[in-house]
Amino acid sequence: MRKLNHALLASALALACASCTAEKEANYQVIPLPQEVSLTQGNPFKLNENVLIAYPENNALLQRNAEFLSEYIQQATNYAPKTKAIAAGEQVKNAIVLGLDPGIANKEGYVLTTTPEGISINGQTENGVFYGIQTLRKSIPAGAKGATVLIPAGEIKDEPRFSYRGMHLDVGRHFFPKEFIKKYIDLLALHNMNTFHWHLTEDQGWRIEIKKYPKLTEIGSQRSRTVIGRNTQEYDNTPYGGFYTQEEAKEIVKYAQERYITIIPEVDLPGHMLAALAAYPEMGCTGGPYEVCPRWGVFEDVLCIGNDKTMQFLEDVMSEIIEIFPSEYVHIGGDEAPRTRWEKCPKCQARIKAEGLKADKKHTAEDRLQSYCMTRIEKFLNSKGRRIIGWDEILEGDVAPNATVMSWRGASGGIEAAQMGHDVIMTPNTYCYFDYYQTADTKDEPLGIGGYVPIEKVYSLDPTFDLNEEQKKHIIGAQANLWTEYITTTEHVEYMVLPRMAALAEVQWTQPEKKDFKDFTKRLARLMKFYQRDGFNYAKHVFDLKVDFTPDVAKKAVVVTLSTIDDAPIYYT
């Protein structure tokens, strides 16, 4: 990056600020882009410290929404509007009024109306009001300290394209503390996402307390060492571990719920279970010994499906998981489970025989053993009022009858599942794997797993692909995944997801005919100011570094473009 001349910078900023006033203009060009924005010629609403945020009395959720809005405004302006409960029919002046309107069709939809006298944000549900709040929040300049903010008069009618709008985080390879998980959830809220897929178990670490099986965290959460680099023969010989207690997990669930985000836990089975086998070796086909894995990859040792104790273990684990996580869905993995141990295991072969599992031209008997495992756990979870999600490998055999398929090996698995009538969440690695590099020039990038998914590629995703109208109904949403083999710090997590998360947000929310990448990058410049203000470590590849201190006559402003700000023009008016 080019070194900046500090004297020149100071001179430019002084010139810019000479024309600054105590007013800032809001702008509805936010991310994700609302479906319909209609501006009028009326005077703007003036947001200042005297504005009130009102909500219906006896509605605790809208009260909390009002408190969030006050907090968001304070982050931008340094003043926090007071909140007030109002009775039905009560009129308030100079206020932002939150309310419910059953006439709004989509349960997450909202209508935001601005006049010179006030703002109203109505949703069919409190969720919808929350997304209207996010739009208002992002329309206010990130840095409007002490200023009166002019909110344009007009109306926004908005609703999401997809009901499932997710982000994933793997804490099995590397563990991240509770407070960072909350920060990650805050990022999801900023981007109008409603689902956090929490990958909690792996070969390299079991991260959630299960009280009936204490060794899962006593032994399974700690590995003795970690491979250096991309599976070299060298190790750091440093113990590594961590896990969340059930109380910590419940605290995080509540934090997410307050922001209308559902946490879907993942306990990956029957593969990726070396941490569990290290704790309870009798559940493997060979009996071990096993260790919490210090390397990355796919390993032959998986759960022994022929062992009744193993199946009881899985049901016991799921019983505790659903007590912690109230989500409708539980993700049970199903990916990368080699069949080699089952082929030689007497117990597994006995199970195959007892269940009458047969090979055919497409599938081995061991493929059908995996399907047996997934179907059995699905039936157990269905009996508890829950549904399963599995990776697209669950299509290899007899797919569990009510399963939702998460398509990661490209889109083909999701397309096949939708054609079969299964609900699908699209997470194709070619668009949505945020552990892949975001630039082709990787020499100065932190270590990554490989691959190349630039922000333009993320933005270009249409999760419905070429399905017909009936099949498209089974695509319930999209998600990006962040696997953490090479991501050891919270700063690195932020760097890999930002700003690609913004591109994904528009894929999830905005109708495809309204998407335009060039326009998106202009709006992204505004959103990046939020990232900077809130201390997030974000990548800047989407913008070229420019330094331009020439006055913009048309805007009567000085254009200052600096990598230290957000690599995009900042207009000081």
Between 557 and 388, name the one with better pLDDT: 388
**Cα angle, residue 203 at apex, residues 378 and 499 outer, rounded to 5°:** 85
| Same domain assignment for residues 433 and 554 | no
| Residue 360 domain-assigned (yes or no) | no
Q: What residues have CB less than 8 Å from 57, skipping those under 6 apart?
A: 85, 86, 87
Of residues 172 and 573, more confidence is placed in 172
Does 155 share its domain with 169? no
Q: Do 155 and 168 share a domain, yes or no?
A: no
The answer to whether residues 311 and 180 belong to one domain is yes
CATH number of the structural domain spanning residue 150: 3.30.379.10
What is the tens place of the pLDDT at every residue in 268-320?
999 999 999 999 999 999 999 999 999 999 999 999 999 999 999 999 999 99
H and E: helices and strands count for the chain: 18, 25
Of the three residues 125, 143, 159, the one that is the final residue of a domain is: 159
Q: Are residues 129 and 114 in the same domain?
A: yes
Position 341 in a domain: no
Q: Which of 6, 28, 34 is nearest to 514 (CA)?
A: 34
Q: Let me know whether 461 and 550 are in one domain.
A: no
Give mean pLDDT, residues 77-105: 97
Identify the pLDDT of residue 401: 74
So what's the pLDDT on residue 426?
98
Q: What residue spans of 303-345 are helical by DSSP H? A: 308-324, 340-344
User: Which CATH number fits the domain that encloses residue 414?
Assistant: 3.20.20.80
Mean pLDDT score of the chain: 91
Do 153 and 221 lie in a common domain?
Answer: no
Specify whether the backbone of 333 is left (phi greater than 0), alpha (psi in -120 to 50) or beta. Answer: left
Quick one: pLDDT at residue 394? 85
Whether 252 is covered by a domain: the verdict is yes
pLDDT band at 395 (very low <50, low <70, confident <90, very high): confident
Residue 235: its pLDDT value, please? 98
Of 488, 508, 527, at which residue does a domain stop?
488
Structural domain count of the chain: 3
DSSP characters for 74-101? HHHHS---EEEEE-TT---SSEEEEEE-
Residue at 362 is within a domain: no
Residue 171, domain member (yes or no): yes
Query: Is residue 177 situated within a structural domain?
Result: yes
Q: How far apart, in whole angstroms, are the C-alpha atoms of residue 416 and residue 395?
A: 9
**Structural domain contains residue 467:** yes
* pLDDT, average across residues 340-350: 98
Instruction: Of 399-413, 496-510, 539-553, give the range with the top mean pLDDT.
Output: 496-510
Up-side HSE of residue 267: CA atoms within 13 Å toward CB?
28
Q: What is the pLDDT of residues 453-496, one digit of tens each?
A: 999 999 999 999 999 999 999 999 999 999 999 999 999 999 99
Residue scoring higher pLDDT (549 or 422): 422
Extract long-range pairs of 551-557: CB within 8 Å, 24+ residues apart: 551/15, 556/19, 557/16, 557/19
Q: What is the SS3 string spanning 410-462? A: CCHHHHHHHHCCCCEEECCHHHHECCCECCCCCCCCCCCCCCECCHHHHHCCC
Would you place residue 22 in the very low, low, confident or very high pLDDT band (cuts 50, 70, 90)?
Answer: confident
| Residue 225 near residue 294, CB atoms below 8 Å | yes
**Chosen domain end from 159, 187, 208:** 159
The residue type found at 571 is Y
Residues 145 and 198 in one domain: no
| Rounded-to-integer distance, Cα 249 and Cα 18, Å | 50
- 553 pLDDT higher than 70: no
Would you say residue 538 has pLDDT above 60? yes
Give the mean model confidence (pLDDT) for residues 354-374.
Answer: 95
Residue 124 has pLDDT above 60, yes or no: yes
Same domain as 189, residue 145? no
CA angle (407, 410, 412) in 5-degree steps: 75
> Token pair 């605290």 is at which residue?
251
Whether 109 is in a domain gets the answer yes
Question: What would the mean pLDDT of 363-382 be, rounded to a whole number?
Answer: 95
Read off the pLDDT of residues 168-188 as tens digits, 9 standing for 90 and up: 999 999 999 999 999 999 999
Please give the residue range of the domain that contains residue 42.
Answer: 20-159
Taking only the tens place, the pLDDT of each residue in 423-443 is 999 999 999 999 999 999 999
For the CA atoms of 405, 408, 412, 414, what is the dihedral angle to 10 degrees?
20
Q: Is 236 exposed, middle or buried (0-12, 13-18, 19+ CB in 10 A)?
A: exposed
Do 182 and 92 belong to one domain? no
Whether 143 and 169 share a structural domain:
no
9 has a pLDDT exceeding 80: no
Residues 154 and 169 in one domain: no
User: pLDDT value at position 545?
Assistant: 36
Question: Which range is least confidently modeled, 116-130, 246-260, 383-397?
Answer: 383-397
